Amino acid sequence: MIAEVLVDIPHKALDKVFDYVVPKDLEDSVSRGQRVDVPFGARIITGFVVGLKDATQVKGLKSIKTIRDLVPYFDEERLRISSYLAEKHLYPRAAYLEAMLPRGLSMKYERRLRVVDMNRLPKPLRPYFRETSDIAYDEALKKTAHLVREALETGALEQYPVISQQESVKEVDVVRLKKTAKVRGDKQKAVLEYLRNRGKPIDRKRLQKATEANSDSLRRLEKHGLIDIVSEERYRELQSLYNLKDKAVTLSEPQRDVYQAIKDSFGSHKTFLLHGVTSSGKTEIYIKLAEQALVKGQSALILLPEISLTPKIAARFKSRFKNQVALYHSALSTGEQYDEWRKVLRKEARLVIGARSAVFAPLENIGLIVMDEEQSDSFIQSDAPQYDAKEVARMRAKTHAAPLLLGSATPSVSSYYYAQTGRYELLELKERALKSLPPELRVVDMKSEFKKGNTTMFAEALQKAIEKRLFKGEQTLLLINRRGHAQFVLCRDCGHVVKCDDCTISMTYHKTNDVLMCHHCNKKQPMVKTCPKCGSFHIRYMGIGSERVEAALKNLFPEASILRMDRDTTGKKQGHEHLLYAFEEEGDILVGTQMIAKGLDFEDVTLVGVLSADMGLHVPDFYAESETFSLLMQIAGRSGRREKKGEVIVQTYDKDHPVFSDLQTGDYESFYRRDIAYRIQARVEPILSLTQLLVAHKQSRLAYHRALEVLRRLKQDGFETLGPSLPKIPYKNGMYRQQLIVRHNQAKSLSKTLGDLMDTVDMKRERLIVNHYPRDF
Ligand code: ADP
Ligand code: ZN
Ligand code: ZN
């Protein structure tokens, strides 16, 4: 028997399937989807079995060494998904297979040194090998490189490769009573006594603590055949600061209608878009539906954006479903993630709650897939290997004949378009579940603040509102739009932003040569000295950071307890959860980036302030307006979620932008009509897709030359293509880059053309990078 093995080296040139002989004694246990160790060149590496066959034309084959996972980690479904994604993104399939596994399963390749002849070993090296006969190669080299080399040459040492998994199963010793007998020694007596009273096995550590017996006593008891000590596998327990009570909720009438519509479609594939205002009880519906799937003996997958930011939602599911839930996201430790994943593989957990990567969970017989906050771009993995979890979710829902439920308070314009045009079924919830009033929203014009002489970052109204909250002991959230950090140019007098005449997206300021540039079409112009619209000199590029805001706040409100949440403050494991918990317990003001906009449910937050609300509007991105609208709606939804009415203050230089009136009336429809009209005109999603190609070369001139070649081929095949232009990052990893942008609605045939082009790439000096999800240019 011959196995087709995909080797685990994510490198385009090696993305090939190699044939290996399956040794006779492994023939019964080998199957597709397993990982195997195979010889590759001079090394042993791990690969994936993607096919089995009886014969091959290839001569002189090597054999599989071992099978790593007897139970295959990939079923047909996920093997198929991996090959689909690899073809679409022109990226190695092995990288996708890796991405489907928990981090802890990726392989560590290590070289080690072993003593062959201690007598011939140079004296200074001997101490290293006194306790052990082998040590890690790199560690040895650090100390005495030349001696190690010499010993290798004389044959006193030899090196050998080791492959191991990053993470392993956690095991603990468990003690069981076999029989009692008279023993000497108080400690031993105590142990037997304790075990008899308990009547069941116990962890060794706990036993020793309870009886103060040491390992010697236990070993003696074991030797006399009175107890057994065996090692048992344990899952690492996930800790959460939130321990919620399971509360039984009866769905309201509108909730029940939504629930019923989806429940009725169990067993067939259909996509629903649930448009429900924040706090309308969407999550309660997800819980009830998941329950239903489990009752029917099926499994369910719930995807949330950035689950680590919303520990409470996870806790709600946990309180309802207990051990049937596996949580899966990247903020878990490697070991925890590995354990949660194994619970799913072994079908001990049939409900998976997770972020983007959970879409690859090894679930079988899926009855329901939910994607909450479906508009969130965190469902797109934009770093390689790229994928859109929504697309994968749709593929899986189809395979399992299960409904896919997309939920949001501000659906993505594309999803809403599909709901309007009949591809999705639209369901709506228009009221908050707890009948709390929607917050009052005010838009403040920063231009007039500036004219009034207020040059601080905070409008007078916002300062007053914060003071009031501090006085009443209520809480404030302050949002800084980080996407506004891009260096666009704004007039502080009239709010004008310099945009590309051709593309309608903002131009980016380049400090080094003092020019403005459109990263979409490559148009350049000198930096303006005065506002092209009103002539003011107060024109400059913008961007404020959360640290500066925090410092300014401390100045204004020295007594307040101010917390800051951004990448810098949440680096540690469970960093988010600790910070959010601390804020809920004793904070006055939480300053943060987009991170704080999503899903937070704090009772005492009655004020939300948005600094620089229009920043996000000027990011050179076709989707800037929808992104901003949805962010502002979300953050507004964090205020006044219980009895107390909330207030939202939005600061902007562009008060008349229609997005703010939609925000004030909470009118999604009006926003949608404007944005879809714009998108139809700009010919972007959902009308056409944009694919960015980066042509990279070690030589700048050749990068441009190659880009022209790629352009020619694309045009030849009928693809509308812009460029070459300079990308946002024009030089990376030792290569110069040129950008091409393809507008299309046929990903399949584009992949084919790109596949042909990819074959011509000389990996020694050039790259062709395909990005199906470009955002700001
Ligand atoms: P969403 O997911 O739409 O933001 P949630 O499901 O989180 O809304 O609901 C908001 C709050 O209202 C939660 O505290 C939830 O427990 C509560 N809630 C939702 N539906 C009901 C209901 N039918 N009866 C009582 N409380 C409800
Ligand atoms: Zn101006
Ligand atoms: Zn342009």
Give per-residue pLDDT as tens, 38-59: 998 878 888 999 999 999 888 8
Average pLDDT on 209-231 reads 88
| 3-class secondary-structure state, position 285 | helix
Question: Could you tell me the distance, in angstroms and rounded to a whole number, from the CA of residue 287 to the centre of ligand 1?
Answer: 11
**What are the pLDDT digits (tens) for 7-29?**
866 566 557 789 999 999 999 99
Question: Could you tell me the distance, in angstroms and rounded to a whole number, from the CA of residue 515 to the centre of ligand 2?
Answer: 19
Average pLDDT on 656-665 reads 89
- Packing angle between helix 186-198 and helix 215-223, nearest 10 degrees? 70
Among the atoms of ligand 1, which is closest to the Cα of residue 434?
A: 12
| 3-class secondary-structure state, position 67 | strand
Q: How far apart are CA 427 and CA 289, in angstroms?
A: 15
Question: Could you tell me the distance, in angstroms and rounded to a whole number, from the CA of residue 715 to the centre of ligand 3?
Answer: 20
**What are the pLDDT digits (tens) for 24-40?**
999 999 999 999 999 98
Our answer on whether the CB atom of 439 is closer than 6 Å to any ligand 1 atom is: no
The dihedral of CA 619, 625, 626, 632: what is its sign?
positive
Output the DSSP codes for 120-147: GS-GGGGGGGSS-SEEEHHHHHHHHHHH
CB within 8 Å of 279: residues ≥ 6 apart = 432, 433, 434, 436, 601, 637, 641
The dihedral of CA 47, 49, 50, 51: what is its sign?
positive
Question: Could you tell me the distance, in angstroms and rounded to a whole number, from the CA of residue 509 to the centre of ligand 2?
Answer: 17
Average pLDDT on 188-216 reads 88
Neighbours of ion ligand 3 (CB under 5 A): 500, 502-503, 518, 520-521, 523
Our answer on whether the CB atom of 432 is closer than 6 Å to any ligand 1 atom is: no
Cβ atoms of 169 and 232 closer than 8 Å? no
Element (H, E) at 747: helix 747-759
**Sequence-ordered alpha helix ranges (H) in 559-698:** 575-586, 624-636, 658-665, 668-682
Q: How far apart are CA 343 and CA 238, in angstroms?
A: 13
List b or e across 541-567, with b for residues whose CB sees 16 or more CB atoms inside 10 angstroms: bbbbebeebbebbeeebeebebbbbbe
Residue 725 Ramachandran class (φ > 0 left, ψ -120 to 50 alpha, else beta): beta
The dihedral of CA 765, 691, 330, 354: what is its sign?
negative
Output the DSSP codes for 17-46: EEEEEPPGGGTTT--TT-EEEEEETTEEEE
User: What confidence category does residue 432 fall into, taking pLDDT thresholds of 50, 70 and 90?
Assistant: confident
pLDDT of 483 reads: 53
Q: How far apart are CA 339 and CA 336, in angstroms?
A: 5
Pocket-testing residue among 302, 434, 437, ligand 1, by greatest number of atoms within 8 A of Cβ: 434
> Is the pLDDT reported for residue 67 higher than 70?
yes
Our answer on whether the CB atom of 251 is closer than 6 Å to any ligand 1 atom is: yes
Our answer on whether the CB atom of 169 is closer than 6 Å to any ligand 1 atom is: no
Question: Could you tell me the distance, in angstroms and rounded to a whole number, from the CA of residue 493 to the centre of ligand 2?
Answer: 5
The residue assigned the tokens 């459109």 is: 518
Our answer on whether the CB atom of 603 is closer than 6 Å to any ligand 1 atom is: no
Question: Which one is predicted more confidently, 493 or 264?
Answer: 264
Our answer on whether the CB atom of 246 is closer than 6 Å to any ligand 1 atom is: no
pTM of the model: 0.81
Pocket-testing residue among 283, 312, 319, ligand 1, by greatest number of atoms within 8 A of Cβ: 283
Question: Which one is predicted more confidently, 180 or 719?
Answer: 719
Give, using CA atoms, the residue closest to atom 25 of ligand 1.
249
- Packing angle between helix 204-211 and helix 186-198, nearest 10 degrees? 120
Average pLDDT on 471-487 reads 77
Q: How far apart are CA 67 and CA 426, in angstroms?
A: 48
The dihedral of CA 451, 454, 458, 462: what is its sign?
negative
Q: How far apart are CA 287 and CA 296, in angstroms?
A: 14
Cβ atoms of 538 and 492 closer than 8 Å? yes
Backbone φ and ψ of 362, nearest 5°: -75, 50
Q: Report residue 500 as tokens.
A: 């590309």
Point out the least confidently predicted range of 234-243, 410-419, 663-672: 234-243
Going by their DSSP bridges, the two strands 475-480 and 589-592 should be labelled as parallel
Backbone φ and ψ of 461, nearest 5°: -60, -40
Point out the least confidently predicted range of 74-83, 84-93, 360-369, 625-634: 625-634
List b or e across 19-53, with b for residues whose CB sees 16 or more CB atoms inside 10 angstroms: bbebeeebeeebebbbbbbbebeeebbbbbbbeee
Q: Report residue 276 as tokens.
A: 């429900």
> Is the pLDDT reported for residue 518 higher than 90?
no
Our answer on whether the CB atom of 408 is closer than 6 Å to any ligand 1 atom is: no
> Is the pLDDT reported for residue 144 higher than 80?
no
**CA separation, residue 464 to residues 468, 519, 607 (Å):** 6, 41, 11
User: What confidence category does residue 308 fall into, taking pLDDT thresholds of 50, 70 and 90?
Assistant: low
Cα-Cα end-to-end distance for the chain: 51
> Is the pLDDT reported for residue 385 higher than 70?
yes
> Is the pLDDT reported for residue 484 higher than 50?
no
Question: Could you tell me the distance, in angstroms and rounded to a whole number, from the CA of residue 463 to the centre of ligand 2?
Answer: 26
**What are the pLDDT digits (tens) for 566-609?**
766 666 656 777 888 889 888 999 998 777 877 677 888 899 99
HSE value, Cβ hemisphere, 13 Å, CA-based, for 691: 27
Question: Could you tell me the distance, in angstroms and rounded to a whole number, from the CA of residue 407 to the centre of ligand 1?
Answer: 14
**What are the pLDDT digits (tens) for 68-124?**
888 899 999 999 999 999 999 999 899 999 999 998 887 777 777 888 888 888 888
Between the CA atoms of 112, 113, 115 and 117, what dihedral angle is there, to the nearest 10 degrees?
A: 140
Measured from the alpha carbon of residue 516, the closest ligand is 3
Q: Report residue 121 as tokens.
A: 């070993």
pLDDT of 456 reads: 82
> Is the pLDDT reported for residue 760 higher than 70?
yes
Rounded to a whole number, what is the largest CA-CA distance in the chain? Answer: 100
Going by their DSSP bridges, the two strands 647-652 and 605-611 should be labelled as parallel
Q: Report residue 520 as tokens.
A: 């979409």
Residue 233 CA to chain centroid, in angstroms? 29
What amino acid occupies position 412?
Answer: S
> Is the pLDDT reported for residue 620 higher than 80?
no
